[in-house]
Amino acid sequence: MYQFQRMAVLGAALLCLSLPGIAQTESDERALIEIQDGISISKDSLFLLNLRFRMQNRMGFTSVAGDDLSVKSVDARVRRLRLRLDGFVLNERIRYYIQLNFSRADLDLETETIAQPIRDAMVYYHFNKRFYLGFGQSKLPGNRQRVISSGNLQFPDRSIANSTFTLDRDFGLFAYWTQPIGAQEVQVKAALSSGDGRNALPINEGMAYTGRLEWLPLGAFTNKGDYSEGDLEMEPKPRLSIGATYSYNDRATRVGGQLGLPLYATTDFGTFIADMVFKYRGWAISGEYFDRRSEAPITTDEDGNVRFVTTGTGINGQVSKYFSSAYEVAARFTTVEPASDVSALRNRTDEALLGCTRYLNGHRIKLQAYTGYRWINAEPAFETRGNNWTLLFQVEFGI
């Protein structure tokens, strides 16, 4: 009897699956899975989830000195391992973006003791194609190279000017507006944020205020190429974007505002950034200028220990040529010049890099290598103490 019941249930199930109407209903209730740029799961027009991952595996070497090529340190690790989720819920106006990180460096375990797995957690509301708001944790509208995804860089790392003066991520309210003017385009971006960086404790009374203006006088880039390094699109017509940002961090609690060790006392500082990118037929030229100022950049504790905000200027310039064979050569020059009030605490640093990239699937899968020379206090002589060479190879793999 029990065996008969089992057979009856199985037969009924098969019969139901064979009926067109019932089969169609079941199909409509399923999520639709597509594999294009990542993996997409959708349910009618009510829900969309895109899944993507990427990892960066690297090995690098730094020399003892400019005139001593003996290996001082080896950088062999998973530099980045990230999972990205984005899409919409209820309708396409309500969108979300989540990014989690898992490598030691991404978790901030190299400088802190508490893991920070949440990189981005944003909810957006799109009023129309030109204007939308965001609430949550994300990158501030700062320098172009920082806002560009680390997966879309033409060198394995951003510049030393970026690491010194960048605004990085913060929690707050974000606004974005785009206005076409004939063939030109103007973009306005703004953020009101905590000023303390990602996953910060709610202990600060101050805030950060950030605004950015971008002008594209020659029209929009192909596939948003103004936020992807190198001219992989081989722009058939010249394309140019010029941007400027100002951010004021009121009662900052960390040495880099949103980054770095805690200060011994809060302080205020402002950061001005100007940047540009030009692309045409495989050539790409980009530049960034930073200027950070504070009336009280140095803080001390009761024992006389010092922590300070690096004020001063930074310049980064890059030029590259992408070939139809999917190879790219790129060069970078960067300088960081501390202001006089902190020059006794931090050296001027210059760096020159020469890199080569082989793109296997655009920026998603690529092989990167570079060699470079770093020198301090404007003394590039090989025998100068503190100067060194670096060599690095990295594999980027993702969907």
Specify whether the CB–CB gap between 391 and 60 falls below 8 A. yes
Residue 202 belongs to what domain range? 53-80+160-167+181-398
Question: Is residue 91 pLDDT above 50, yes or no?
Answer: yes
Q: What is the pTM of this model?
A: 0.88
Question: Is residue 6 pLDDT above 70, yes or no?
Answer: no
Specify whether the CB–CB gap between 306 and 300 falls below 8 A. yes
Please indicate, yes or no, if residue 150 is contained in any of the structural domains: no
pLDDT tens string 295-306:
999 999 999 999
Please indicate, yes or no, if residue 143 is contained in any of the structural domains: no
pLDDT tens string 260-294:
999 999 999 999 999 999 999 999 999 999 999 99
| Residue 94's pLDDT band (cuts 50, 70, 90) | very high
The overall average pLDDT reported for the chain is: 91
Please indicate, yes or no, if residue 130 is contained in any of the structural domains: no
Q: Is 242 helix (H, G, I), strand (E, B) or coil?
A: strand
Residue 77 pairs with which residues in a beta bridge? 58
3-state helix, strand, coil in the chain (%, to 5): 10, 55, 30
Give 17 or 385, the one with higher predicted confidence: 385
Please indicate, yes or no, if residue 34 is contained in any of the structural domains: no
The DSSP line for 5-37 is HHHHHHHHHHHHHHSHHHHHHHHHHSPEEEEES
Question: Is residue 18 pLDDT above 80, yes or no?
Answer: no
For the record, the structure tokens of 370 come out as 């570079």
Please indicate, yes or no, if residue 277 is contained in any of the structural domains: yes
Question: Is residue 71 pLDDT above 80, yes or no?
Answer: yes
Number of domains in the chain: 1
* Domain of residue 300, CATH code: 2.40.160
